[in-house]
Amino acid sequence: MDPMEALVAQIQGLSSTPGDIARLHIILKQADDSLRAESTRLSPVLGQLAPSEHSLGFLYVLDAFTSGQISKQQAETSVPIITGFINACNAEQIRLAPEKFVLVCKRLKDQVMMLEAPIRGVGPLLTAARKLQLSTEHLTPLHSDFLMLCVLAKCYKTGLSILEDDIFEVDQPRDLFLYCYYGGMICIGLKRFQKALDLLHNVVTAPMSTLNAIAVEAYKKYILVSLIHHGQLSTSLPKYASSVAQRSLKNFCQPYIELANSYGTEKIAELEAYVQTNTEKFENDNNLGLVKQVVLSMYKRNIQRLTQTYLTLSLQDIANTVQLNSPKEAEMHVLQMIQDGEIYATINQRDGMVRFLEDPEQYKTCEMIENIDSSIQRIMALSRKLSAMDEQISCDQLYLSKVGRERQRYDFDDFDVPTKFNI
């Protein structure tokens, strides 16, 4: 009997109960190499298997099928197959072979990129990531690929949905870097600068033993977003950032640090001149759009400062103080800021005056109370999590062995450390 036929029969037969599936898994692992050898002949096999019931088997076959070079035409046919599989597969079965699943999905990503239609991969990868996750706090390698496709396809909102989850468990640090970096880019695209700042901050301060390119790029964006959102850049990284980052990150981001310094002088003309001279560098990093937003934010900040000192001010005076060219421009800026909700004001066109108002938020509405309540709940949950983790670590073997060796010895008994804690 054709070994393929035998395999198919086994897959179809052993895909019902968990015990069977475990046996199937072992068989499949042994048959892996033979599958690869037959990769060209596998498409009819795929037709015989149902993705939803025989997920594990389908996965192995699919993996063998898609391994090796694939041309554009072949990609056209295989993309729908993989997409169909992802949508239909059974989550528990694929979790038995996560590496293979990830591999298959990565190939999907490569193929959609080759076909220059990243949007085709967005939906499937989202489903895939959700299925592979053990919990919503778990980061899989698929997350970063998914976000990359979102960035390329400009589907920011879809990307945001996955970013709303908090991540605590990570398989590979590299995944985290990419995830946070792409996540930051998506948030910037949606103008959610605070969240972008948080994500990029995570990359920059993550523990790392050597500097990697992702952290450097992330730091560049971090500087720019920090200027847009806060109007300033803290010159040193916090203490918990890795020493490598603290020492060397700045050296790679020199033009950006100087931009931040120039921003700090609060002279718009200087800032613009600096941007002009360094346009090429910013463009090479694909950051020119962001840099332009930085310049714009300076005008905004100046106008915001005016709200602190004036009650009413003429458009002409605004234009003069903020170094704009004409009252018309000033009016446009103020209008834009009112629409974005960044200041509260009314424009009196007849007199050419702007009247600045106080923030109407009185913190008395139901929504606000709900908001506060949910924040309280969230933080309490977080606290509990923190204590749980603390307890967990204090019972951890590795931790105890390390501490055991270095702790103070007050008693005779202290000198006998059980050997099992000495690694």
Stretch near another protein under the rule CB under 8 A, chosen from 36-44, 94-102, 339-347, 373-381: 373-381
Stretch that binds another protein, among 7-15, 216-224, 251-259, 371-379 (CB under 8 A): 371-379
Contact between 210 and another protein by CB under 8 A: the answer reads: no
Nearest distance from C-beta of residue 192 to another protein, angstroms: 13
For residues 251 and 17, what is the distance between their CA atoms, to the nearest angstrom?
58
Six-digit token string for 58: 């389908």
- Residue among 64 and 298 whose Cβ is closer to another protein: 298
Question: 346 — phi, psi (to 5°)?
Answer: -125, 145
Each residue 153-182 as x (binds another protein by CB under 8 A) or -, in order, gives: -------------xxxxxx-x--x------
How far, CA to CA in Å, does 181 sit from each of 32, 146, 153? Answer: 35, 12, 16
Burial 133-145 (b: 16+ CB within 10 A, else e): beeeebbbbbbbb
- Six token digits for residue 218: 């992330």
For residues 416 and 404, the answer to whether their CB atoms sit within 8 Å is no
Question: Judged by CB under 8 A, does residue 311 bind another protein?
Answer: yes
Which residues are CB-neighbours of 325 under 8 A, at least 6 positions away? 319
Residue 198 touching another protein (CB under 8 A) = yes
Cβ 343 vs Cβ 337: under 8 Å:
yes
- Work out whether 415 is an interface residue with another protein (CB under 8 A): no
Of 352, 345, 346, 308, the C-alpha closest to 326 is: 352
Which window, 56-64, 155-163, 196-204, 273-281, contacts another protein (CB under 8 A)?
196-204
β-strand 169-170 against 138-139: which pairing, if any? parallel
Which residue lies nearer to another protein by CB, 378 or 405?
378
Does residue 369 bind another protein (CB under 8 A)? no
Q: How far is the CB of 260 from another protein (least distance, A)?
A: 22
d(CA 83, CA 356): 54
Q: Could you tell me which stretch among 58-66, 183-191, 279-287, 381-389 binds another protein (CB under 8 A)?
A: 381-389
CB nearer to another protein: pick between 166 and 340: 166
Q: Which is nearer to another protein, 104 or 214 (CB)?
A: 214
Whole-number Cα distances in Å, 242 to 152, 389, 395: 31, 22, 26
Q: Does 218 bind another protein (CB under 8 A)?
A: no
How far is Cα 339 from Cα 207, in angstroms, rounded to an integer?
A: 41
Using rule CB under 8 A, residue 379 touches another protein: yes
> Judged by CB, which is closer to another protein: 54, or 201?
201
Per CB under 8 A, residues contacting another protein are 166-171, 173, 176, 198, 201-202, 205-207, 240, 305, 308-314, 317, 351, 353, 356, 358-359, 361-363, 372, 375-376, 378-379, 382-383, 385-386, 389, 393, 396, 398, 423
